[in-house]
Structure 1
Amino acid sequence: MTQVRLHVYILSLFLIAVLIAISTFSTFDATSLTFRVMGVYWLFSLLYYHLRVNSRRGSTSIEYGINYSVSLVLFTGPFGLFLFEAVYRLAGYLYKKKTKTDEPGEGIQAFYNVGSFVIQGTAAYYVYQWLLPWFDGNLIAFWLLVFLLIAVTAVLSDLFLLGVFSLLGDIRTRADVTAFLKERSILDMAKTSFSNGLLLLLLEQRNWTAIIGLFVLNYLVSQSYLVKAQIAQDKHDRDKYEHMAYTDFLTGLHNRAYMEMKMKELEKTREPIGIVVADIDKFKTINDTYNHSVGDRVIQHFAAALKESARSDDLLARSGGEEFTMFLRGRSYETCLALVEELRRQVERDTVEAEFRDETKHIAYTASFGLYFFTEQEDVPIEKGYIYADQLLLESKQHGRNRVTASAGQRRKSAQPPN
């Protein structure tokens, strides 16, 4: 039913455009000059076609691009604009069909574009005819008038689109309407005003060299903008996928792949690094006693505690299921040991709030740590230092859990909670 109402709405706009064209046919100046102007507009509009930017709002696709309909309607009249839009939109529809880039509803969208642009352009045409006697002869007043015409078409365009979005349910509240209207750019309106105003002046002077030059200049600027926008989008996509590839979805920390990549960079620095491997004690028991959702909350809590103790230049990653690895930079062995021991005590003191069977549970847990202090004098790669830290973690587990086992060269220390 929604689609039926939408089609009735769009076809009503198109029918109004047809009636406008019929009623203004007698004023259409069917001379070679008029068709030459329309031919130039058709040519460059079709060249610009691939530069149009598509934006989606809900289930609707909106095309944005440079529009010259105001200057055209002021020169050829409403019937000329209808003829231009009908041919242009039909050509665009056939192009998309041929290249198989058309979307569902592309045909009805062409009717909408013809109807809406002709109505907008006709409104601008009659406002121009009405106000021209007061603005004529003053260059500043002329540009203000052109901007006013662009504002009129922009308001009508937004109203027509709001009708579409309302029928589709993509806009439901005043807040939605306000957000949509705020998307209108004054800078874009100024650019459209300048292009259409300058084209109108050049058309009145029959300055074809300047007219074609303006179209070519706008084409080059639009092409350059599109290339830059595509480069920016590609970079954004690469950054997003890289972030996804190197980020643990549950904790938001780096994952093991990122850790292994950065370990190679850290090794080149030949700086002293405290390598910490940490693991939640008896994590399987937590999952078995409650459920995996509660287990995830415990992992997130532990990750947050580790992150809070880390500095911006440290490397922190989730290296396994309930296992995490820290590379503490710019600290002495004693400082690293004190930091890890404080972490162990903090985890032991804290509890995790989690929902289980419609109740809020406060879950206590502990963690074990292995710390290996990797110095610049080490003859082994940093990957080996990570293995040493993992072995020290295993010792903490074997000796009762909830403790820190640390090593730096010949020094070895096992810290455990007091009895």
Structure 2
Amino acid sequence: MRVKLFIILLFLTSLTVAVTSGQLIIETKTYVVALGFYWLFSTLYSHLAVIVKKGNVSMDYGVTYSISMGIFAGPLGIFILETLYRFTVYIIRKATKTADEEEFYHSLYNIGSFALNSSIAYYLFHTIYPIFETVPLGFWIVMIILVTIMSLSSDIYLIILFSLMGDIKTTKDAIDFIKSRSILDMGKIIFSNGLLLMFLQSEQWEMLIGLFLLNYLVSRSFMEKNQSIQHKLERDKFEQMAYTDFLTEVYNRAYMDKTMVQLNQSGEQLGIIVTDIDSFKRINDTYNHAVGDRVIQHFAATIQSYLDDTDFLFRSGGEEFTIFLRNRSYQECVTLIEQMKDGIMHKPAAAEYKSNEILLQHTASFGLYYYKACDAMDIKKAYVHADNLLLKAKDSGKNRLVSKNGLTDLPLSLRYTTNN
């Protein structure tokens, strides 16, 4: 109720300023032409605005052209424009079922705030412009001053609104809100309104229409590019979710299969490693699955810390993980896995059990098969070899690495890539 009362008060204040200002300060015919263009293009621009919800209020982020019309036509002229434009948008949103529940009050707020701000700009312009009229670039200095003041007053209205709603509670919150305003957006408002005001004052309607169309095309192009980028980000996010293991945040088995296809005939020399946590069932049985999950997370993070950006780590099932090492010789792969094995053994996992933090020391076994991806052997067969080597490591006492250099099984002409 307090929010609605504030909005009504703001609207009535702008209405009072408009009515008490007297008649239009320009000829009716000129005003009607300008009103038609501003109403048409403002309505056209309305679907290009970025709408952001702040509490119970929808905020439209877009370039406003009210200041130029306010200075040109005076308080009454800008109030008529804002009322016509905002209620046109209101009717369109109602008809297209895109209106919020409080769309009527949002329209009243927009009319009140923009009309009042533009009325203030009218009085300030005619007060300070004579001072700067003879100064080089004096007109633009005045426009910078006006837009800065109008931006600050607009922020004050919103701060009062959000304070009544409870979204802004401290002075710091209010200052942070003011700081969030974009300087670039203010620059667009300054130069767009400055040029429009020049065209209005000289009644250069072709130039005015041209500027409106230019701004529309630029805004439309920017919006479409922004939407394209947003859609790509969303697609990438969904793809990442589809290929990411929910527990460890490393790649999952589906992505492993996809990567196998990509690497199968790449001609790369690869280290295929299959590893899992030794005696993991005992951890689950002794504690619980939540503790077991924490150990798996720790295990994955420890392995990942040893890998380069070009390597791949997959959770291939349960406590089992698969690693693809790239750009390394066989001996370099063996050395890295030995370091990894020792690091796991000496770095226990922290977990919470019965409200106490516990440290769980654990080990892992590894099977490494090193080979060259080519027609002579499918990568899936190489993976099976690595899995069998893991079983040998388990059978020989765990916490071990069993490896094989598969290049020795290939003809000499196929053992090395061309860049070795």
TM-score normalised by the chain length of structure 2: 0.92
**Contact 2:265–2:373 (CA under 8 A) maintained in structure 1:** no
Q: Which amino acid is the alignment partner of residue 18 of structure 2?
A: A
Q: 2:332 is matched with which residue?
A: 335
Cα distance change on mapping 1:175 and 1:111 into 2, 3 Å: same
**Contact 1:250–1:300 (CA under 8 A) maintained in structure 2:** yes
Q: Which amino acid is the alignment partner of residue 326 of structure 2?
A: R
**Contact 1:70–1:121 (CA under 8 A) maintained in structure 2:** yes
Q: 1:85 is matched with which residue?
A: 82
Q: Following TM superposition, by how much is the alpha carbon of 1:30 offset from its aligned partner in structure 2, in angstroms?
A: 6.0
For residues 358 and 76 of structure 1, the distance between their equivalents in structure 2, rounded to whole angstroms, comes to 71
Q: Which amino acid is the alignment partner of residue 172 of structure 1?
A: K
Q: Secondary structure at the match of 2:392?
A: helix
| Alignment counterpart, residue 314 of structure 2, candidates 294, 313, 317 | 317
For residues 281 and 57 of structure 2, the distance between their equivalents in structure 1, rounded to whole angstroms, comes to 48
Q: 2:417 is matched with which residue?
A: none
Q: Secondary structure at the match of 2:398?
A: coil
Q: Secondary structure at the match of 2:285?
A: helix
Give the stretch that moved more between structures: 252-261 or 104-113.
252-261
Q: Following TM superposition, by how much is the alpha carbon of 1:387 offset from its aligned partner in structure 2, in angstroms?
A: 1.6
Q: Which amino acid is the alignment partner of residue 127 of structure 1?
A: L
Q: Following TM superposition, by how much is the alpha carbon of 1:159 offset from its aligned partner in structure 2, in angstroms?
A: 0.6
Q: Which amino acid is the alignment partner of residue 234 of structure 1?
A: H
Alignment of 1:114 onto 2:111: yes
Q: 1:47 is matched with which residue?
A: 44
Q: Following TM superposition, by how much is the alpha carbon of 1:15 offset from its aligned partner in structure 2, in angstroms?
A: 1.4
For residues 371 and 285 of structure 2, the distance between their equivalents in structure 1, rounded to whole angstroms, comes to 37
Q: 1:228 is matched with which residue?
A: 225
Q: Which amino acid is the alignment partner of residue 263 of structure 2?
A: L
Q: Following TM superposition, by how much is the alpha carbon of 1:72 offset from its aligned partner in structure 2, in angstroms?
A: 0.4
Q: What residue ranges of structure 1 are gaps of 5+ in the alignment? A: 413-419
| Alignment counterpart, residue 302 of structure 2, candidates 260, 283, 305 | 305
Alignment deviations for residues 67-101 of structure 1 (CA, whole Å, 9 cap, x no partner): 11111011111111111111111110110111111
Q: Secondary structure at the match of 1:350?
A: coil
Q: Which amino acid is the alignment partner of residue 140 of structure 1?
A: L
For residues 150 and 199 of structure 2, the distance between their equivalents in structure 1, rounded to whole angstroms, comes to 22
Q: Following TM superposition, by how much is the alpha carbon of 1:173 offset from its aligned partner in structure 2, in angstroms?
A: 3.0
**Contact 1:275–1:326 (CA under 8 A) maintained in structure 2:** yes
For residues 143 and 73 of structure 2, the distance between their equivalents in structure 1, rounded to whole angstroms, comes to 16
Q: Following TM superposition, by how much is the alpha carbon of 1:305 offset from its aligned partner in structure 2, in angstroms?
A: 1.7
**Contact 1:59–1:170 (CA under 8 A) maintained in structure 2:** no
| Alignment counterpart, residue 368 of structure 1, candidates 353, 365, 369 | 365
Q: 1:149 is matched with which residue?
A: 146
Alignment length, in residue pairs?
409
Cα distance change on mapping 1:377 and 1:192 into 2, 3 Å: closer
**Contact 1:48–1:219 (CA under 8 A) maintained in structure 2:** yes
Q: Which amino acid is the alignment partner of residue 333 of structure 2?
A: C
Give the stretch that moved more between structures: 16-25 or 153-162.
16-25
Q: Secondary structure at the match of 1:48?
A: helix
Q: 2:278 is matched with which residue?
A: 281
| Alignment counterpart, residue 165 of structure 1, candidates 159, 162, 169 | 162
For residues 39 and 376 of structure 1, the distance between their equivalents in structure 2, rounded to whole angstroms, comes to 70
Q: Following TM superposition, by how much is the alpha carbon of 1:222 offset from its aligned partner in structure 2, in angstroms?
A: 1.1
Cα distance change on mapping 1:176 and 1:322 into 2, 3 Å: farther
**Contact 2:344–2:363 (CA under 8 A) maintained in structure 1:** yes
Q: Secondary structure at the match of 1:245?
A: helix
For residues 90 and 246 of structure 1, the distance between their equivalents in structure 2, rounded to whole angstroms, comes to 48
Q: What residue ranges of structure 2 are gaps of 5+ in the alignment? A: 410-420
| Alignment counterpart, residue 401 of structure 2, candidates 398, 401, 404 | 404
Q: How does 1:86-101 map to 2 (within 5 A)?
A: 86-101=83-98
Cα distance change on mapping 1:401 and 1:114 into 2, 3 Å: same
Q: How does 1:14-93 map to 2 (within 5 A)?
A: 14-27=11-24, 29=26, 31-93=28-90
Q: 1:174 is matched with which residue?
A: 171
Give the stretch that moved more between structures: 346-355 or 34-43.
346-355
**Contact 2:263–2:373 (CA under 8 A) maintained in structure 1:** no
For residues 207 and 236 of structure 1, the distance between their equivalents in structure 2, rounded to whole angstroms, comes to 43
Q: How does 1:253-268 map to 2 (within 5 A)?
A: 253-268=250-265
Give the stretch that moved more between structures: 71-80 or 173-182.
173-182
Alignment deviations for residues 332-391 of structure 1 (CA, whole Å, 9 cap, x no partner): 323322322332222222211222222111111121211112235772200111122122
**Contact 1:123–1:152 (CA under 8 A) maintained in structure 2:** no
Cα distance change on mapping 1:318 and 1:187 into 2, 3 Å: same
For residues 228 and 347 of structure 2, the distance between their equivalents in structure 1, rounded to whole angstroms, comes to 47
Q: Following TM superposition, by how much is the alpha carbon of 1:17 offset from its aligned partner in structure 2, in angstroms?
A: 1.4
Cα distance change on mapping 1:190 and 1:342 into 2, 3 Å: closer
Alignment of 1:391 onto 2:374: no
Give aligned-pair identity as a percent. Answer: 45
Q: Secondary structure at the match of 1:268?
A: coil
Alignment of 1:104 onto 2:92: no
Q: Secondary structure at the match of 1:19?
A: helix
Q: Which amino acid is the alignment partner of residue 153 of structure 2?
A: L
Q: Secondary structure at the match of 1:360?
A: strand
For residues 150 and 296 of structure 1, the distance between their equivalents in structure 2, rounded to whole angstroms, comes to 57
**Contact 2:311–2:324 (CA under 8 A) maintained in structure 1:** yes
Q: Following TM superposition, by how much is the alpha carbon of 1:299 offset from its aligned partner in structure 2, in angstroms?
A: 1.1
Q: Secondary structure at the match of 1:254?
A: coil
For residues 17 and 41 of structure 1, the distance between their equivalents in structure 2, rounded to whole angstroms, comes to 19
**Contact 2:373–2:379 (CA under 8 A) maintained in structure 1:** no
